[in-house]
Amino acid sequence: MNDTYDVMIIGAGAAGLTAGIYSSRAKLTTLILNEGAVGGQMVLTEEIANYPGVPATKGYMLANTMKQQAKSFGCKIKSNIKIARYDLEGDIKKVELEDGRSFKARSVILTPGGRPRSLNIPGEDKFKGTGISYCATCDGDFFTGKEVVVVGGGNSALEEAVALTQFATKVTIVHQFDHFQAFKHAVEEAQKNPKINFIMESELRSFYGNGKLESVDIEHLPTGKMSSLKTDGTFIFVGYQPNTETLNGLVKLNERNEIVVDTDMKTNIDGVFAAGDSIVKKYRQVTTAVADGTIAALSAARYLSEKHVKAGELLEQEA
Amino acid sequence: MKMLQTNLHEIETATELEKMIQENENVMVCCGRMGPMCMPVYDVMEELEDERDDVKFAVMAFDNPEAAIIRNAPETNGFMGLPFTMYYKNGKVAHATSSIQNMQQVASILDEQFAEKV
């Protein structure tokens, strides 16, 4: 059996699964390698209400449907693996896993997605699950009758802060700037909520507690003045970062470590395409990831087709 | 009644959990909901279930009243993040974690807690 796939997709979020559906349905042998859980950021979304043609649904359910759809067309999925090394140059691309296995393909679609950005300050890992959370929907009810801090100034931070007021007696939003990046309606909703107060132009510096989170240190950025705030919990919503660390130096990235692609989702390497939250783009939605994944799969199919024609011509010439 | 949509065995009663941990040397039980912090742990367990014959893997719905056996366990005191994941060895709690864990973290706990002690 030929152990070289036509298409190897790195990542199984909306973009990767869509690329898998398209390429496997086009009868291209397709393998998805996924370092995390299948579904990517979709499974971190409680409800998806704006995916056209699908009534409001849970993120994990949409992800599961996409996964089953890809598998039904013959797409192979290996998740929870760890990639050790890429060799993306040349006609045959190779990916080696940390457990020693390796996989080859004629084309690669990179869809590594992104992950919630952490603060990377002392105590953050220690209190994860005992006071620090990245999901208000999941853990909000543990903070019933308690006081919490929300870090961030985007839509997620303000919307989740409002949601947390169903449980917490007091929600303090800490934001690094003097204004919010969130949409006006989200800001107004938070500002009119009597349980929410704001600490602007400030950043968290460390977490403290004995067995569970008890307080945070906050620095007021214009003055450098430090203060301590007692809190039972901290919810962190400071955006997402692309999972492209292992691709640095292999494909062209921009200053934010996002993969640079053209309108056909081609990277700077022949036969290597990219799609989804990890590429340079303005709007990161399930729908845009699905669109990117579609384009990347069709571009990969065209690339393989052209390669095949050229290879055939060469064989004919040699004969 | 089953409440979790996973490919893992779902424990429905405290009695069933007690029986499982008495009959199996190494047991990992993830107690959660179908949410974004729990799903990745179920996914990890499904992957590991194929590889680790020495461990019995199961899930239990956090909102099942019978899951009080985990929710109120001394080892989960202070936990404020789903899922609550329990590791049992020889019928006793060997380790417990709160919130999301990745493959590396889970595998490391299994190796550490369930290794044969010489």
Domain ranges of chain A: 4-116+240-318, 132-236
Span A4-116+240-318 CATH architecture: 3-Layer(bba) Sandwich (3.50)
Is this model's pTM higher than 0.80 or not?
no
* Chain B residues within an 8 Å CB radius of A148: none
Of A45, A79, A130, the CB nearest to B80: A130
Q: What gap in Å lies between CA A117 and CA A87, rounded to an integer?
A: 28
**β partners of residue B27:** B56, B88
Per the CB < 8 A criterion, the answer to whether A54 and A63 are in contact is: no
pLDDT tens, residue by residue, A237-289: 998 788 898 899 999 999 989 999 999 999 999 999 999 999 999 888 899 99
Q: What is the average pLDDT across A34-47?
A: 79
Give the pLDDT confidence score for residue A312 in this predicted structure. Answer: 55
Q: What is the average pLDDT across A50-56?
A: 92
Complex ipTM, two decimals? 0.74
Give the pLDDT confidence score for residue A311 in this predicted structure. Answer: 57
Structure tokens at A240: 């997402």
CB pair distance less than 8 Å for A130 and B102: no
* Chain A residues within an 8 Å CB radius of B36: 43-46, 59-60, 135, 137-138
Q: What is the average pLDDT across A154-181?
A: 95
Whose structure tokens read 């890992």?
Answer: A125
Per the CB < 8 A criterion, the answer to whether A208 and A233 are in contact is: no
* Chain B residues within an 8 Å CB radius of A37: 39-40, 43-44
CB pair distance less than 8 Å for B36 and A138: yes
* Chain B residues within an 8 Å CB radius of A137: 35-36
Task: Say which range, A35-44, A107-116, A161-170, A221-230, has the weakest mean pLDDT.
Answer: A35-44
Q: What gap in Å lies between CA B75 and CA B96, rounded to an integer?
A: 6
Q: What is the average pLDDT across A54-79?
A: 90
CB pair distance less than 8 Å for B34 and A44: no
Cis peptide leading into residue B36 (ω within 30°): no
Of A60, A79, A211, the CB nearest to B47: A79
Give the pLDDT confidence score for residue A49 in this predicted structure. Answer: 80
Query: Quick one: pLDDT band at residue A1, thresholds 50, 70, 90?
Result: very low
Which residues of A lie inside 8 Å of B (Cβ-Cβ)? 36-39, 43-46, 58-60, 64, 79-80, 82, 128-135, 137-139, 142-143, 211-212, 233
Query: CA–CA distance from A53 to each of A17, A50, A56, B27 (Å)?
Result: 18, 9, 10, 42
Give the pLDDT confidence score for residue B92 in this predicted structure. Answer: 95
Fold that domain A132-236 belongs to in CATH: FAD/NAD(P)-binding domain (3.50.50)
Query: Quick one: pLDDT band at residue A164, thresholds 50, 70, 90?
Result: very high
Question: How would you classify residue A218: left for phi > 0, otherwise alpha for psi between -120 and 50, otherwise beta?
Answer: beta
Query: Quick one: pLDDT band at residue A44, thresholds 50, 70, 90?
Result: low
Question: How would you classify residue B85: left for phi > 0, otherwise alpha for psi between -120 and 50, otherwise beta?
Answer: beta
Of B35, B39, B80, the CB nearest to A131: B80
* Chain B residues within an 8 Å CB radius of A59: 36
pLDDT tens, residue by residue, A98-142: 889 999 999 999 999 987 788 999 999 899 889 999 888 788 999
Question: Residue A91: is its pLDDT beyond 60?
Answer: yes
3-state SS assignment for residue A115: strand
* Chain A residues within an 8 Å CB radius of B40: 36-37, 43
Residues near B61 by beta carbon (within 8 Å), at least 6 away in sequence: B2, B3, B4, B10, B31, B32, B33, B67
Residue B65 Cα to chain centre, angstroms: 17
* Chain B residues within an 8 Å CB radius of A138: 33, 35-38, 81-82
Listing DSSP states for A192-212 in one string gives: T-TTEEEE-SEEEEEEEESSS
Give the pLDDT confidence score for residue B35 in this predicted structure. Answer: 79
Give the pLDDT confidence score for residue B40 in this predicted structure. Answer: 83
Judge residue B58's burial from the number of C-beta atoms within 10 Å of its C-beta, 0-12 exposed, 13-18 middle, 19 or more buried. buried
Question: Residue A319: is its pLDDT beyond 70?
Answer: no
Per the CB < 8 A criterion, the answer to whether A70 and A19 are in contact is: no
DSSP E strands in B3-103: the ranges are: 9-11, 26-32, 56-61, 84-89, 92-98
Please indicate whether residue A43 or residue B94 has the higher confidence score (pLDDT). Answer: B94
Please report the domains of chain B, with CATH numbers, ordered by start residue: 9-111 (3.40.30.10)
Tens digit of pLDDT at every position of chain B (118 positions): 788 888 899 999 999 999 999 999 999 999 999 877 888 899 889 889 988 999 999 999 999 999 999 999 999 999 999 999 999 999 999 999 999 898 889 999 999 999 865 4
What is the least distance, in Å, from the CA of B107 to any CA of chain A? 11
Q: Kindly identify which residue of chain A lies nearest to residue B100, measuring between CA atoms.
A: A129
Of A43, A130, A135, the CB nearest to B78: A130
- Same topology, domains A4-116+240-318 and A132-236? Answer is yes
Structure tokens at A10: 């790195």
Q: What is the average pLDDT across A51-62?
A: 89
Intra-chain end-to-end CA distance of chain B, in Å = 41
Whose structure tokens read 């019928």?
Answer: B91
Closest CA to A151 of A207, A212, A223: A207
Residue B27: count of CB within 10 angstroms of its CB = 24
Per the CB < 8 A criterion, the answer to whether A134 and A117 are in contact is: no
Q: What gap in Å lies between CA B58 and CA B48, rounded to an integer?
A: 12
Of A79, A134, A142, the CB nearest to B43: A79
Residue B46 Cα to chain centre, angstroms: 12
